[in-house]
Amino acid sequence: MSEAVDNREMDEILQRYGYEKSCIIPILQETQARYRYLPKEAFSYLSENLGISTARIYSIATFYENFSLEQKGKYVIKICDGTACHVRKSIPILERLKNQLGLTADKVTTDDLMFTLETVSCLGACGLAPVLTVNDQVYPAMTPDKAQELLKRLKEEE
């Protein structure tokens, strides 16, 4: 299921950072931007080329919430559950989407790799609460119904 890592693409990223050990975080960010997650195969290639052990890269990748070691869906839905969104009922939106997509707290990506559902602590758009984003596009003042409608639209676009 996992996408093969293209070493030439990795080289491009590495070159941009001059194969510099200390740039491991931006390098991982770009890798994730390219593959939507950090593929396991990228670790050994990065390790060889940067002189950092795979265990250390794993350490960095697991330390930051933003890095994902699991393949993500084509649409990454982030539901804000910061204080403002929470009091304006973000949880029912989350529950509805979970039901619709058949996801749980542990299983966040659909089997067809179309949708990933995550919560975030604050998107910094409290005035628009409750907020969710789909691949960084912001959808303000959501309700469970509006979210379900959005999901339907995304599925139809396919």
Partner 1 sequence: MNTEFMVIDNMPVEINGERNILDVIRKAGIDLPTFCYYSELSVYGACRMCVVEDQWGTIQAACSTPPKAGMAIRTNTPRLRKYRKMILELLLSNHCRDCTTCEKNGKCKLQELAQRFGIKQVRFHNTSEDSELDTSSLCIVRDKSKCILCGDCVRMCNEVQNVGAIDFAFRGSKMCVSTAFDEPLANTKCVGCGQCSVVCPTGAIVVRNDTAKLWKELSDKNTKVIVQIAPAVRVGIGKELGFSEGQNVMGRVVAALRRIGFDEVFDTSTGADFTVLEEAEEFSKRLLTEDNLPLFTSCCPAWVRYAELNYPQLLKNISTCRSPMQMLASILKEHHREDEKRVVVVAVMPCTAKKQEAARDEFKEDGVPYVDYVITTQELIHLIKEANLIFTEIEPEAVDMPFGTTSGSGVIFGVTGGVTEAVIRRLSDDKSSFALRAIAFTGVRGMQGVKEARIDCNGREVKIAIVSGLKNADDLIRSIQKGEKQYDFVEVMSCPGGCIGGAGQPVTNRDGKYNRGAGLYNADRMSNIKRSEENPIIKELYDGMLKGKVHKLLHVNYLKPDRS
Chain residues binding partner 1 by CB under 8 A are 40, 43, 52-59, 62-63, 69
Nearer to partner 1, 17 or 58 (CB): 58
CA separation for the pair 60, 64 (Å, rounded): 7
| Closest CB 56 distance from partner 1, rounded Å | 5
Nearer to partner 1, 54 or 143 (CB): 54
| Closest CB 73 distance from partner 1, rounded Å | 21
125: amino acid identity, one letter: A
Nearer to partner 1, 18 or 51 (CB): 51
CA separation for the pair 116, 107 (Å, rounded): 9
> Do 132 and 85 form a contact (C-beta atoms < 8 A)?
no
Nearer to partner 1, 22 or 59 (CB): 59
Task: Give residue 19's region: left, alpha or beta (phi > 0; psi -120 to 50).
Answer: left
In 3D, which of 38, 41, 42 has the Cα closest to residue 69? 38
| Closest CB 43 distance from partner 1, rounded Å | 6
| Closest CB 44 distance from partner 1, rounded Å | 9
